[in-house]
Amino acid sequence: MIFDIFRVDWILVDTILILILILILCSVKIYKHKNRWRALLTHNSITKINLNPKELELKDEKSYVRELNLIYNPLFCERRHQMPILLILSSKSIHNLTKAMSEGLSSYGFTIIHMLIKRRWIYFKNETQLLSSKGLNILDLVFNYIKDQYPKLNRHFLVIDFNSCVSPKKLTMCTFNLNRFIFINPSTKKLPLDWVKSSPEFYLNLIFAKKSYLGFKNRKIAKFMKSSSRSNLSHMKIDVFERANTYFKNNETILLAKLITIIQNKVN
């Protein structure tokens, strides 16, 4: 059989090639939009201790602790008793944003406990029931573990939540004295407005990026803004980063400065 080049539908071939090129360009754009150029701690003076996440048995088959790290700067050991321990919670890598913030905060002198909590895949669709009431509260487990392993550390804690799968009710049920939480880009499912209105004893700092994925408008902001203005929620403060996207790429320094300001106001 002789191949007849003149009978080939070159318009269809060109269309397929153009679509493939568009998909490749979009993939590169998304990758550059989300990922950072480095994923590891590079500050030589920072110490990172990989703790055993199996020591924190959640007694909950729907989730588990995948990573548990203690990060601090030995050069600021004399300031540990003055500064709170920062517990950073996340359920996704957020493309190394939590690692960047952990490095920046520990370089400033804070002691960081970073927890990566993952959902088991069979329960992905049932997010509202994550982390049941069985066993101890997730924060109590962490605090008791740190108190036993590192008794010289400070007993004051502050939680920074990067939209993890831990519900705010579980965070606030902790037996330790916690009354301030920082939430990064929370959703209304993560932070129900009804719960916010009914919990004036907890001071909440909400930090949003104005842009969502690929530059689209972040719709989460409007919902919290309306609720805050209608109900006059004085215990909730909202900060919006005008030029940032969901991953805060190229805005890490501004986010770090904002977190340090909030924490210092809490300490002072």
Name the more confident of 135 and 210. Answer: 210
The candidate with the shortest Cα–Cα distance to 217, out of 225, 209, 206, is 209
**Each residue of 12-53: pLDDT tens digit?**
888 999 999 999 998 887 777 666 656 666 677 888 888 877
The torsion angles phi and psi of 261, rounded to 5 degrees, stand at -60, -45
CA dihedral 28, 100, 159, 259 (to 10 degrees): -100
pLDDT of residue 3: 57
Confidence band of 5 (pLDDT split at 50, 70, 90): low
Euclidean distance between CA atoms 174 and 180, whole angstroms = 12
pLDDT of residue 267: 61
**Each residue of 99-149: pLDDT tens digit?**
888 888 998 888 898 888 877 665 554 444 444 444 456 677 777 777 777
- As assigned by CATH, the class of the 48-267 domain is alpha beta
pLDDT of residue 41: 64
On whether the CB atoms of residues 94 and 247 are closer than 8 A, the answer is: yes
